[in-house]
Amino acid sequence: MRGGDRKVRILHSIGPGEMAGTQRALATYLAAADRDRFEHHVICSSPGPLVERLREMDLAVTVAPSPHHWRPVAVARLVRALRRGRFDVFHANPSRVEAVVARGLGVPVVCRRNVGFDLYWARWRQHGVVARLLNAPVDRFIVPAAFLIDEYERRGVARERVRLVHNGVSVRVPGRAEIERARAEMGDGLAPLIVSAGRLVALKGHRFLIEAAARLKSQGMAFRIAIIGDGEQRQALQELAGATGVGEQVRLLGWKADVVPYLAAADVYVQPSLSDVLPNAVLEAMALGRCVVASDVGGIRDAIGPGRSGALVPPGDAAALARELSLLLANKPARACLGVAAQRTIARDFTVAEMARRTEAIYQELSEVPR
């Protein structure tokens, strides 16, 4: 237990310094953290945009290259950091191997888990003796979607060890000129614009958006689709668009450092994932007042009430996605109503201030446990 009025000291281990979903969530929280009560130190396994952003915030960041958390050199480095820093809480994002080390030193452990439990993740990480051993030293799991609480309980983790902390959203509103430039990059014309963002991997389901586009075209509907992101499926998706006759309507724009102008330019945002938790792009599109159509997977229902603040379709069902898009593309007032409701949902349930409050309550709780 810490003494006196000393700040609660938290050591975060975040993995690579790239700006993926977990890293963005950490940066968002730290930007809003109460620095009068909490002192944060971050270890990254590689340099990158996250490191630059945290240093701009005047936060203590260490870049400690290590390809594997279980390597002896990485374990020794973590042991030294925990002992020298007199940390009250260790926050693993998301390595549970590191949690074993920290707990062995008597430091309470928080672990943020963004991944779901499904056929896309190795079974040994989810079930059985290995998973239970890795989960055992974690005092509190932070999850960004409610369904993960039930999933942890099914795997032997008591509900009181799991805390729901939705990702907070703070999105700047781009200027009109930015939005117009984004729209022009995504294809000239006045046809409604559909935008999707995410890694171009099978799990994200972009092929079903392209197949839905072919159905829309066969119905004589006018539309444009822009897919933002990069990955192993890019060439296959480009070829699929050509083979299904929508090569002129679909543009793959690659990775963008700032997706906000593209989201703001959309008439409809689509998240066609086969499996997901609660993508930041969905929340950001909603915060910008966009109408969102998403697969009914993971924790997306935490944000989208079907027919109230967006639309949900079965994952991997191009026909259902095409039907929903057809209705929305033909009904601008309906899109506007869903967009307004989406924006209100984010303002009510997904604020950065609430994310920070819930996270810091966990840190405070653990720091006060005698050890």
Q: What is the pLDDT along the chain (371 residues), one digit of tens a residue?
A: 455 578 999 999 988 888 877 788 899 999 999 999 999 999 988 899 999 999 999 999 998 876 555 677 777 888 888 888 899 999 988 666 788 888 889 999 998 875 544 444 444 455 556 677 778 889 999 999 999 998 888 878 899 999 999 999 988 899 999 999 998 888 767 899 999 999 999 999 999 999 999 999 999 999 999 999 999 999 999 999 999 999 999 999 999 988 999 999 999 999 999 998 899 899 999 999 999 999 999 999 999 999 899 999 999 999 999 999 999 999 999 999 999 999 999 999 999 999 999 999 999 999 987 76
Beta carbons of 338 and 311 less than 8 angstroms apart: yes
**Phi/psi at 154 (nearest 5 deg)?**
-65, -20
The CA distance from 311 to 173, in Å, is 23
The CA distance from 100 to 107, in Å, is 10
Q: What are the C-alpha distances in Å from 87 to residues 140, 191, 265?
A: 16, 55, 45
Architecture of the structural domain at 176-349: 3-Layer(aba) Sandwich (3.40)
> Which tokens hold the place of 161?
């060890």
Q: pTM above the 0.75 mark?
A: yes
- Report the topology of domain 8-168+351-367: Rossmann fold (3.40.50)
Beta carbons of 11 and 90 less than 8 angstroms apart: yes
Domain boundaries, the chain: 8-168+351-367, 176-349
